[in-house]
Structures are given as C-alpha cells and as structure tokens.
C-alpha cells in the first residue's frame, strides 16, 4: 500500500464513478468497497503517523494553477489526522447503512456519496488556502443533489435555504481567501502563493486581518451552524435522507470547526485575538440556544440537530480559548461528536421504523420493552452524547472548559451550565422514545442482524475511545499547540499554569521563536525601547542603558562595562 | 500609362496576406456559401453549404494557430495581429463551429435559405475578427458594423415566427443607436487627439491640455456607451432579453458568446491600450457600470421562466464580471478577462446546445417547466446543462469558479476590492436562478411518460406565414446538437480541473497589451 494522500483522496469518487457504470445492486456494493478502502487508508495513516513531529507529514505539493499561485498541496498533521479517520469511518458506516435499503437510481446516489467523501477529505487534507476553498465549496454540491433527489417532502424549500445560506458564506470566504493571497503578497513583495505555510510567513496587516477573519468566520459559522446563522438547519435537517444527514451533521460541521484551527488562528492571529471575546460569546449563546431548542423539539432528528449545534458551540469555545488544552479538547470533541452522531441518527431511523414511520417522539414510547439490545446501545450512545464521565466526550468537554478557564474564567463558568443542559435533552430523548407509555402505532422489535452490523461496531468504538482518549490526544498535541501559537503570542501568556504538559508545550512554542535573550551587562539598567520603562534584563529586545549617562551601552567588550 | 496617371496613383499600403489569412478564409467561405446556396439540389443546400461554412471556420482556426507567434501591424496600422487578436479569433471560431453544428438541420436556415444564413454567419465572424484586431477607430467601426448587420438579419431568420421577426427589428433599431453613439464618440475622440490610430492617440494623450479637454471626455463617454450597448452592459442592456428570446436558438448562442467576446475584446484594446493614459477618467465610470451590470443582470434573471431570457440576463451579469477585469487595467486583469471569456463561451455553448436540443424535442423547450425530470429522462442533456449552470454560478471544479477566482484576484490587485465584493454578491444572487434550473432537472419526476414527444401544436405561437407546421418542424434528438452539449459540458469540467493550458493562452494574450502596469 503506497502511502500517497492523493490515492485516499480520490479513491471514493473513483469508486463512485465506477459504480455509476455498473448495473443492478453493484453500485451500492462498489460504494461500500470504495469507502472501506478509504477507511483502510485512514487507519494506516493513523498507525503510521509520527506523533513526535509538529510539521506536516506525507506532503504532496504540485503547482495547480501557476498563474494564480495555487498549489495542489496535501498533508497530514495532528489537526486533521483524526478528522480524516473520522470521515473515512463515518462514510464507511453510512454507506453500509445506505446499503440496507433500496434507493431509486442507486448509481447516482452512490456516485454523489463517493464524491462527497472526496470533497470532505480534500477540505481536510488541503494545505493551500485556495484548494481548501475549492473543496469546502464542493462539499455542498453532492449534498444538494442527494437532498434534491432523495430528500423528504419539503425538500425544495429546504435545499434552497441550505444552499443560499452556505454558499453566501462560502462566497464571502472566496473573496476573503483571494484577498488574503493578494494582500499578503503585496505586503511582502513575494509572488502570490496560497499555501498555508507561505501565507503564514508573509503575514497580513492587522486592518486587513479583521475583515478577512470575519468573512471566514461567517462561512464557518454557517456551515456548523452556530447561532445566529443556523436558519437553514430545521428545514435542511428535516429534508435530508438520514444516512446523508448523519454525515452532514457528523462530519461536515466539523470541517468548519477545523477551518478555524487551520485557517483563522494561524493566518489571522491579530484578528483572532481581537475577536476572541466575540467568538466566545457566540459560542456560549450557541450552546444555550442549541440546548434550549433541543429540549423543546419533538422531532427526534431535530433534537439531534439542535444538540449538534450545542456541541459545536463547545468546540468553538475550545478553539477560541486560544489555549493548547482547549484546542486539543476541540479536536477530540469533534471526533467524539462525529462518532456519536452516526449511531444516534441510525437509531432515529430504527425508532421511526418501529413507530409507524414517524420521527416524532410523541409517537414513540415503550420501544425498549421488546428491544432490549437496541436499548442498551441507545443508552450508551445517549451517555456519550451527554458527556458522562467515562466517555470520551467527557474528556473532550473537560479539556475545552479547562482551556477556557485559563483564558476567560467567567465564560467558562457560564458555559459549564451547558454540560448540564446536555443531559436534560439527551435523557429526554431516550426516556420518551424507549420508556413511557407504549405509543399507538408502535410495533417494537429488536435489532436485525444487518442493523447490528452497522450499529454495534461504532458504539463499541465510542466505548473504546472513552477508555483511552489519550490515543488521540498525544497525536494532536504538538500541532494543536503550533496552530494556536501565533494568536496566543498576540494575547500574551495565559494567567496561570494548571500543570498540564500540553499547556507548557503551547507556551514553549512562542518562546522558541523569540530571539535568545542577550547576556546581561553588569551595572546597566534595561529598558524597553518602545515604552521606556525599566524591564527585567532577560527580556527580548531590551536595551542596556548606563544609569549615569543615560546612553545605551554595548556588550562587546570590557571597555564598555559600566563603572559603578 | 501616362505620367499624369502614374503620378496620381496612390501607393496602397502593403498587405500582409499571411496575417490577414483568417479573415480572408472567413470572407471567402461566406461568398462560397452564398453562391452554393443558389443551387437547386437539396443535398447541396442542406449538406454542402453547412459543410463549406464549417470548413471555412476550421480553416480560419487552423490559420490562426499557424500565425500564433506572429506579432505585426496589418494594413498600415489599421489592424494589429497579436496574441490577443489570435486568442479571441480562436474563441470566435470555436463559437462559430458550434453555431454551425447547432444550425444544421435547424428550422432557421431552412426557412431563410441556407446559403444566406451561413454566408451571414461567416460575414459576422469576419467582422468580429476585424473588430478585435482594430487599432484604428475607422477599422473599429467597420468591424463593428460588419459584425452587427448580418446579426440583425440572422435574428429574423425564423420567418414564420413572430418573435423572431420582432427580435430582428428590435436588435436593428437598438443596435443602430449603439453604433451611432460609438461613431459619435469616435468623432469626438478624433477631434481631441487629432488622429484615429490608437498609437497616435496614446501619443497625443501625453499632452495635459488634451487630457483635460471636454472633447475627450465626451468622446470617451460616448465610446463607453456605444460599446456598452454591444456588450449588453446595464443600463444599456434592455434589448438583450427580448432579442435573445426571439432569435433562433443557434443565433442566440452565437450572439451570447461571440458578440460578447468581440465587444469585450475591443473594449480591452480601446481602453487598456489607446485610452490608458486617461485611465483615471474611464476607470471609475467602467467600475460603476460593472457594478450596476452585475446587480441588474442577476436580479433580472431571478424571475424568468424562459431559459433563453434567463441566460440573456445572466449574460448581462457576466458582462459585468468581465468588465471588472478590464477596469483593473493590469496584465493580470486582461489575463483574467480573456480566461473568463473562454470559460464563459464554453459554459454558455453547453447551455444553449441543450436548449436547442430540447426545443427540437418539444415546442415549449425554452420553458423551465419542460426540463422537469430531464435528469432521469435524458441524462445526456441534463448533465451538460447541470455543469453549465454550476459553472456559470461559479461552483468549484468548473471553469466558472477558476475564472471568477482570477477576476476577483485581479480586482483586488488593481485596487478595486469593492468590485471583487460585487462579483461575489452577484454570484450569490445568481444561485437563485441557476440552481432553480438544476433542481428542476433533478428534483421532480417528469409528469408525462418519457416519450420523445413528436410534439403537438403549441397554441401560444401561431405561425406568421402560411405553411408553418410545428409537426413538420419537430425532430428527434439531433446527434450533432447532443455532441456539442456533451463536448462543452465536459470542457466546463476539464477547464475547472486543469486550467493551466488555458491560463497560458490567456497570459500570452495579455502579454500582447504592452504598456500595462506589471
């Protein structure tokens, strides 16, 4: 198996295309095979990944459009490694799930599913801003067609809303991306180059950073979605076919969160620092709004939809703590939430099948009595969703809150209420569906073998991940620290050290970039050239001054030494 | 010869036949097609004439490629052969070939006589080549008229349909107003600069007095308006939807693509070469026009149910995007404009080919409702139209995305970031109508059984002349039309994935415009 990222990237689309040429049930099978192979690649990368390095691995870098300075550059690091694994895993699960029923025009359906996986992987792997934008926008196309072709009754309105919301965001992002490339190049005098590394080196003025940051934030917040840009969610979630919805909610929203870590924080550190409070407040509002909506909804998939809003609020919170632990928590929580979403959506489908086709929890109830195995897996999923201690979600939320505590104590205290709210809506969903009075149309039965095949492995994975989250943490530690370092540098060091190694790693990074402090000259006073205030002799950039004459002194020889 | 006569003989300018060869091939083909059309035998008229037209355009394309690395002045500086001329000639030829294929076995040439139809088409193409090569105001005007007059006639070639006649008349009146304005503007410019040659105008504009003169300002203003009529730039676009809707679809395709390319091409040469010294006069004007055009075109397209009208408004909006590249007045700007022109050509030809095919299948083939369920019924037509719509909307991995990316980049580089934002706002609005078409094709199942309808009589449009019969006009899916659709649909995707070769071409074309910043 050659470890080349392009192979993994294009494999699902290629298999989708191959399936489109085959008759009968074969397209569905070929689709599963394609996603399985991609998953195999994903696992191989995780195993093979060298967690000791903070730099990109398995890099592919070719000129794509020379005239515009766009590169075809792919790479893996701690930020995207586990999201790539999550993507391949969930896609395999969802494609398998899609195999359980017959679709009209299966060839086109599985073609779009394959293209969608390629688009998402592309957005995660891209190490060039323009390429990232291309794949980020491309993600929408397959979901547009899937919803249009196989969606629920009100799909026209839903899909129009979804597309307009997300593409408005995406187009703003396109402008911002072009501006980033051009303005960076104009500022530094280099030719235009859109690769992340080049952009980061060139840097942008703080004024440009601000509006560009906001444009990017709009695109990401719509995709997540976050309050108040979530208007498309109720319609969109109701209209999408469930396997696609599991992917949309489980993976695509995470790509947006990942975008903050990959693009916004490293490239626009000044703006990120300036808007930290704004973003944290949006995150907290999102948590509360999502939670409140989740425990007032009666449609099971909307409960999950709004819970996903709340979870993404947490993830945003972790990112904009601009703190090593918080960023790591955000990555971990992205993976956790993705892992929970697929089985949760799958269970909604199973519940609907037992409740006469209705996804309304008022029509459910009492399903557990005749379906004990299903109930067990549902309860595990529910516990993971509400971040029970012992689940990996608990670790994720804990790290996020820890990060925010260090950065902004008050916000962390408010946000921790959200953890409690999660248990309310998650348990409400479980109790209303599985216990209570038996619903009128409910005909309960336990899991079929085929259903179990999809559900059980994923739930077991949740358990395994809960027992050993360290696995993901140690691989993402270094890169997470590097990603937030520029913005952290702007903000200054965090107020207290809570004794976590990750935090130290995060703080060492900016220190290493500063010039080494000069040896002190005995008898001289050190001042900051900007402020004129006296500072400690070790401070970088400080000038030594003779206290008698007020003149700066050199440290080159004994002759310059100040006489007491 | 008496000495007197010899003395009176004017030395004609030296003619570089090789440089003029694409133009000569087109004019020669035009004359040949006209003569062959006089034969009575049906095969000659129905097969040989289109073939001659195709051969003439193919020859012109071949000669263009042969002349590719030449850069020279032709006909005493009235025309210039350079990469820009040649690249645009290439676009015209591609559009011309597609138009001939779409027209072959179409109703329009049958009703108007084949010879005339193809002769006019080729003459119009020749006018375009002349126009984009013009480096003199007189040559510019001759080219413009040679382009326009055949088109007025071509619009009216479906003589039994009222809409077609109306379209021709409307185009004639408004087109003439545009031409007159342009001519007036040329006169003022000549008055100010004292010369009609672009090179001399540039020299004259070095003088501060001339730059400040009211004559110049008026001239530039009228030129902008005249070209805006041709390129259908708002607010001079009113004719576009009606004319596009009424004209026979192959002619609409030709107008939408080639005429726009020609108008934009001469705009590049006139403003970015001849009037570059006074860029502070026209840059803000063109920038504002571009912004208005983008908004008007996109908003206008929103409510349309006729696909041709929708594409007409979308064409207006695209003209605005293209102007943005010219406004930047940088090498990158011209490069982006030429690239986007090529992308626009490819995407629009795919869309119009599908409309032509659909109109051959059913009488209401221009109506959005006719596309319901096309995705299931005729994927061969639905896919190209899907790609064209996504491309025009600027989805990634299509030619349109890369083109818009380049245009926005050029705007930002040229200091017109707000115009880049307008391009983006326009694209947002445009999603409203492009995606409606895509959704219609793929969403709803066709209400009728999927029979290739040998369509019934369309009650809405009775034939104007006796002898018209929709039954006789209805045809099955013509393979050459499907071919054009598939080829250009595939190209939309191919350019989006691998744009490098086209960029190199555009870069050469932009390199021909000397004197631009960076």
Does A499 reside within a domain?
no
pLDDT band at B93 (very low <50, low <70, confident <90, very high): very high
Residue A505, pLDDT > 90, answer no
pLDDT band at A416 (very low <50, low <70, confident <90, very high): confident
The count of domains in chain A is: 2
Asked if B412's CB is within 8 angstroms of A183's CB, the reply is: yes
Between positions 159 and 198 of A, the ones with CB within 8 A of B are 159-160, 163-164, 167-168, 171-172, 174-175, 178-179, 181-183, 186, 192
Alpha helices in B194-278 (DSSP H): 198-204, 208-212, 214-230, 239-246, 249-254, 260-269
Residue-wise pLDDT for B164-188, tens only, equals 999 999 999 999 999 999 999 999 9
Residue A501, pLDDT > 60, answer no
Give the closest residue to A503 by CA, choosing from A330, A333, A326, A266: A326
Residue-wise pLDDT for B418-432, tens only, equals 998 899 889 888 988
> Residues of chain B with pLDDT > 70: what percent?
91
Cα B374 from Cα B379, distance rounded (Å): 7
pLDDT of residue A502: 47
Between positions 379 and 408 of B, the ones with CB within 8 A of A are 390, 394-397, 401-402, 404-406, 408
Of residues A138, A163, A168, nearest to B396 (C-beta): A138
pLDDT of residue B484: 93
Same domain for A226 and A310, yes or no, is yes
pLDDT of residue A409: 85
Domain range enclosing B350 = 279-446+475-518
Give the pairing type, strands B72-74 and B79-81: antiparallel
C-alpha distance from residue B492 to each of A135, A365, A556 (Å) = 17, 53, 66
Cα A148 from Cα B190, distance rounded (Å): 58
Q: In this predicted structure, which of A176-190, A222-236, A466-480 has the lowest mean pLDDT? A: A466-480
Does B415 reside within a domain?
yes
pLDDT band at B365 (very low <50, low <70, confident <90, very high): confident
pLDDT band at B471 (very low <50, low <70, confident <90, very high): very low
pLDDT of residue A552: 61
Give the closest residue to A345 by CA, choosing from A230, A239, A251, A243: A243
pLDDT of residue A436: 77
- Whether residue A89 contacts residue A250, with contact meaning beta carbons closer than 8 Å, is answered with no
Of residues A105, A156, A181, nearest to B443 (C-beta): A156
DSSP for B98-123, written as a single string: HHHHHHTT-HHHHHH-HHHHHHHHHH
For residue A60, what are the β-bridge partners? Answer: A74
Q: How many CB pairs under 8 A join A and B?
A: 87
Kind and range of the H or E element at A527? strand A525-527
- Whether residue A130 contacts residue A263, with contact meaning beta carbons closer than 8 Å, is answered with no
Same domain for A313 and A437, yes or no, is yes
Q: In this predicted structure, which of A306-315, A440-449, B222-231 has the lowest mean pLDDT? A: A440-449
Q: How far apart are the CA of A466 and the nearest CA of chain B, in angstroms?
A: 38
Does B333 reside within a domain?
yes
Residue B51, pLDDT > 60, answer yes
Does B406 reside within a domain?
yes
Q: Is A552 helix (H, G, I), strand (E, B) or coil?
A: strand
- Tell me the average pLDDT across B442-449: 59
The count of domains in chain B is: 1
Asked if B402's CB is within 8 angstroms of A67's CB, the reply is: no
Same domain for A486 and A521, yes or no, is no
Same domain for A526 and A377, yes or no, is no
Q: How many CA atoms lie within 13 A of B331 on its CB side?
A: 16
Same domain for A422 and A530, yes or no, is no
Task: Calculate the dihedral angle through the C-alpha atoms of A355, A358, A361, A367, rounding to the nearest 10 degrees.
Answer: 10
pLDDT band at B6 (very low <50, low <70, confident <90, very high): low
Same domain for A469 and A549, yes or no, is no
Residue-wise pLDDT for A234-288, tens only, equals 888 888 888 889 899 889 989 999 999 889 888 898 888 889 889 999 999 999 9
Domain range enclosing A552 = 517-557
Residue A497, pLDDT > 80, answer no
Same domain for A453 and A538, yes or no, is no
C-alpha distance from residue B468 to each of B31, B360, B389 (Å) = 29, 15, 33
- Tell me the average pLDDT across B439-443: 83
- Tell me the average pLDDT across A453-482: 82
Asked if B409's CB is within 8 angstroms of A183's CB, the reply is: no
> Which residue do the tokens 């609020």 mark?
A313
Same domain for A532 and A386, yes or no, is no
Same domain for A523 and A415, yes or no, is no
pLDDT band at B488 (very low <50, low <70, confident <90, very high): very high
Does A502 reside within a domain?
no
> Which residue do the tokens 């994935």 mark?
B497
Q: What is the mean pLDDT of chain A?
A: 82
Same domain for A130 and A260, yes or no, is yes
Q: In this predicted structure, which of A13-27, A45-59, B66-80, B335-349 has the lowest mean pLDDT? A: A45-59
């Amino acid at each position: 198996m050659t470890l080349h990222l392009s192979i993994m990237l294009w494999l699902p689309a290629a298999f989708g295309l191959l399936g489109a040429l085959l008759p009968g049930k074969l397209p569905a099978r070929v689709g599963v095979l394609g996603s399985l192979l991609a998953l195999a690649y994903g696992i191989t990368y995780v195993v093979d990944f060298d967690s000791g390095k903070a730099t990109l691995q398995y890099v592919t870098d070719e000129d794509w459009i020379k005239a515009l300075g766009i590169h075809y550059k792919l790479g893996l690091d701690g930020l995207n490694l586990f999201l790539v694994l999550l993507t391949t895993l969930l896609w395999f699960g969802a494609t398998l799930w899609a195999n359980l029923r017959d679709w009209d025009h299966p060839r086109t359906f599985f073609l779009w599913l394959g293209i969608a996986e390629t688009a998402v992987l592309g957005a995660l792997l891209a190490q060039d801003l323009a390429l990232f934008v291309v794949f980020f926008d491309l993600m929408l196309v397959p979901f547009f067609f899937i919803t249009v072709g196989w969606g629920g009754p009100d799909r026209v309105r839903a899909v129009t809303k979804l597309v307009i919301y997300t593409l408005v965001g995406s187009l703003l992002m396109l402008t911002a991306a072009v501006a980033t490339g051009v303005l960076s190049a104009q500022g530094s005098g280099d030719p235009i180059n859109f690769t992340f590394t080049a952009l980061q080196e060139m840097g942008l003025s703080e004024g440009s950073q601000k509006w560009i940051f906001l444009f990017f934030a709009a695109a990401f917040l719509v995709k997540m979605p976050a309050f108040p840009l979530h208007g498309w969610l109720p319609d969109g979630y109701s209209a999408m076919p469930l396997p696609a919805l599991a992917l949309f909610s489980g993976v695509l929203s995470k790509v947006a969160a990942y975008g903050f870590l990959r693009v916004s924080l490293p490239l626009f550190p000044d703006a990120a620092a300036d808007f930290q409070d704004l973003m944290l407040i949006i995150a907290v509002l999102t948590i509360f709004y999502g939670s409140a909506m989740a425990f007032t909804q009666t449609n099971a998939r909307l409960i999950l939809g709004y819970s996903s809003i709340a979870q993404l609020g947490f993830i945003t919170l972790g990112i904009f703590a601009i703190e090593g632990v918080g960023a790591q928590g955000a990555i971990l929580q992205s993976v956790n939430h993705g892992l929970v979403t697929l089985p949760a959506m799958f269970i909604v489908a199973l519940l609907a099948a037992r409740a006469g086709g209705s996804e309304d929890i008022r029509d459910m109830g009492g399903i557990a009595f005749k379906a004990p195995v299903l109930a067990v897996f549902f309860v595990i999923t529910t516990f993971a969703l509400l971040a029970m201690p012992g689940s990996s979600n608990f670790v994720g939320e804990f790290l996020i809150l820890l990060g925010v505590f260090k950065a902004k104590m008050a916000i962390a205290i408010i946000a921790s209420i959200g953890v409690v709210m999660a248990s309310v809506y998650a348990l409400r969903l479980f109790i209303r569906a599985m216990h209570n009075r038996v619903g009128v149309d409910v005909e309960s039965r336990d899991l079929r073998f085929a259903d179990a095949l999809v559900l059980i492995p994923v739930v077991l994975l949740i358990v395994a991940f809960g027992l050993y989250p360290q696995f993901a943490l140690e691989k993402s530690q270094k890169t997470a620290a590097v990603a937030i370092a520029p913005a952290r540098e702007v903000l200054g060091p965090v107020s207290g050290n809570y004794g976590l190694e990750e935090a130290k790693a995060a703080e060492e990074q900016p220190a290493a970039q500063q010039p080494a402090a000069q040896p002190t000259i005995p008898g001289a006073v050190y001042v900051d050239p900007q402020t004129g205030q006296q500072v400690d002799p070790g401070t970088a950039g400080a000038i030594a001054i003779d206290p008698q004459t007020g003149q700066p002194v050199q440290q080159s020889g004994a002759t310059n030494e100040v006489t007491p | 010869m008496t000495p007197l006569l010899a003395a009176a003989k004017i030395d004609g300018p030296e003619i570089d036949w090789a440089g003029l060869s694409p133009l000569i091939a087109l004019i020669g083909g035009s004359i040949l097609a006209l003569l062959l059309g006089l034969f009575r035998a049906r095969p000659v008229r129905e097969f040989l004439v289109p073939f001659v037209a195709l051969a003439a355009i193919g020859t012109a394309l071949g000669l263009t490629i042969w002349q590719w690395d030449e850069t020279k002045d032709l006909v005493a500086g009235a025309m210039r052969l350079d990469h820009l001329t040649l690249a645009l000639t290439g676009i015209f030829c591609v559009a011309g070939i597609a138009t001939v294929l779409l027209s072959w076995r179409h109703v329009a040439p049958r009703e108007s006589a084949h010879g005339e139809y193809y002769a006019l088409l080729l003459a119009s193409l020749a006018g375009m080549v002349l126009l984009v090569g013009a480096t003199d105001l007189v040559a510019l005007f001759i080219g413009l008229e040679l382009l326009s007059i055949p088109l007025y006639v071509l619009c009216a070639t479906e003589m039994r349909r009222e809409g077609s006649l109306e379209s021709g008349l409307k185009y004639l009146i408004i087109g003439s107003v545009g031409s007159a304005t342009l001519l007036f503007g040329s006169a003022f410019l000549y008055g100010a600069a004292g010369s009609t040659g672009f090179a001399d105008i540039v020299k004259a504009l070095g003088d501060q007095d001339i730059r400040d003169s009211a004559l110049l300002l008026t001239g530039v203003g009228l030129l902008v308006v005249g070209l805006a009529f041709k390129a259908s730039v708002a607010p001079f676009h009113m004719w576009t939807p009606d004319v596009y809707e009424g004209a026979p679809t192959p002619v609409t395709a030709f107008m939408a693509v080639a005429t726009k390319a020609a108008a934009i091409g001469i705009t590049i040469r006139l403003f970015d070469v001849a009037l570059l010294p006074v860029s502070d006069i026209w840059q803000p004007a063109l920038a504002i026009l571009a912004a208005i055009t983008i908004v008007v075109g996109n908003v206008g397209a929103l409510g349309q149910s006729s696909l041709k009208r929708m594409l007409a408004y979308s064409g207006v909006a695209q003209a605005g995007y293209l102007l943005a590249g010219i406004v930047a007045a940088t090498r990158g700007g011209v490069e982006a404009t030429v690239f986007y022109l090529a992308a626009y050509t490819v995407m629009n030809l795919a869309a119009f080919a599908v409309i032509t095919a659909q109109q051959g299948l059913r009488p209401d083939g221009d109506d959005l409702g006719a596309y319901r369920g096309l995705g299931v019924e005729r994927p061969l037509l639905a896919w190209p139209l899907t790609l064209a719509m996504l491309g025009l909307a600027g989805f990634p991995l299509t030619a349109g995305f890369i083109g818009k990316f380049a245009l926005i980049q050029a705007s930002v580089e040229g200091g017109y970031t707000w115009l880049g934002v307008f391009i983006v706002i326009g694209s947002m609005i445009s999603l409203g109508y492009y995606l409606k078409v895509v959704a219609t094709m793929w969403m709803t199942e066709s209400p009728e059984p999927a029979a290739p309808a040998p369509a019934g009589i369309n009650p809405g449009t009775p034939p104007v002349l006796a002898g018209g019969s929709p039954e006789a006009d209805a045809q099955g899916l013509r393979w050459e039309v499907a071919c054009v659709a598939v080829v250009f649909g595939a190209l939309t995707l191919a350019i989006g994935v691998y744009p490098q070769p086209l960029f190199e071409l555009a870069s050469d074309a932009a390199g021909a415009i000397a004197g631009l910043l960076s």
